Amino acid sequence: MTEALHLEQHRPVLLRFAMLQLRNRAQAEDAVQETLVAAIQGAKSFAGKSSVRTWLVGILKHKIVDHIRRSRREEPLELPNAETSLEDFDILYKEDGHYASAPADWGDPETAFSQRKFFETLERCLEGLPKNTARVFMMREVMGMETDEICKELAITATNCWVLLYRARMALRVCLGERWFGIGA
């Protein structure tokens, strides 16, 4: 029983991670619950080579992918034109393709990364992305999935995937520039 209580302390972090990917509280809760059950059942296989939280997030990633597979069978992924249009970012570039204004120096990324406030700001920026854009970004950059794997799971083309990744990165650049680094777009 103490093992379950020990794992339960990680629920808030796991839930935030699942919410960023699934964008649905009930589905995120289910994924976290499945993760904790799997962790309790597989506790003997935990070798201790990573932190408990890292181990749990690894399990959660698989549960999220399983959920996406199940939901993909149930409903098709709709990609509105608004999520695949690149015109919103034309203002960031000159005619020759260079930045209109160079990105500000973000300082030491290691220091920024270690700050809890940065992660909170990043989470808020991710929450502001359109659902499918955020999902593709999380699958690629957080969960470490390959493009072909993402395309297969979401039934999208590689071109669509790269457009969504580009849009996510540009939107995050603008959002973090405003909310974290204190610069305008």
Tens digits of residue pLDDT in 43-52: 887 777 778 8
Residue type at position 27: Q
pLDDT at 42: 84
Residue in the block written with tokens 């260079």? 98
Tens digits of residue pLDDT in 15-27: 888 888 888 889 8
Plot region of 97 (φ>0 → left; ψ -120 to 50 → alpha; else → beta): left
Whole-structure pTM value: 0.55
- Torsion from C-alpha of 95, 99, 101, 106, nearest 10 degrees: 170
pLDDT at 47: 72
Cα distance between residue 124 and residue 126, in whole Å: 5
The fold adopted by the segment(s) 81-179 is Arc Repressor Mutant, subunit A (1.10.10)
Of 49, 2, 60, 57, the closest CA to residue 27 belongs to 60
pLDDT at 4: 52
Residues 6+ apart with CB under 8 A from 84: 160, 163, 164, 167
pLDDT at 5: 47
Distance, CA of 148 to chain centre: 17
pLDDT at 73: 66
pLDDT at 2: 47
Q: pLDDT digit of tens for each residue in the chain (185 aa)? A: 345 547 788 888 898 888 888 888 898 899 999 999 988 888 887 777 778 888 888 899 888 888 887 776 665 555 555 555 666 677 777 777 777 777 767 677 667 566 677 778 888 899 999 988 999 998 898 888 899 999 988 889 999 999 999 999 999 999 988 888 876 54
Q: Domain-by-domain residue ranges, the chain? A: 2-74, 81-179
CATH code for residues 2-74: 1.10.1740.10
Residue in the block written with tokens 């992924």? 77
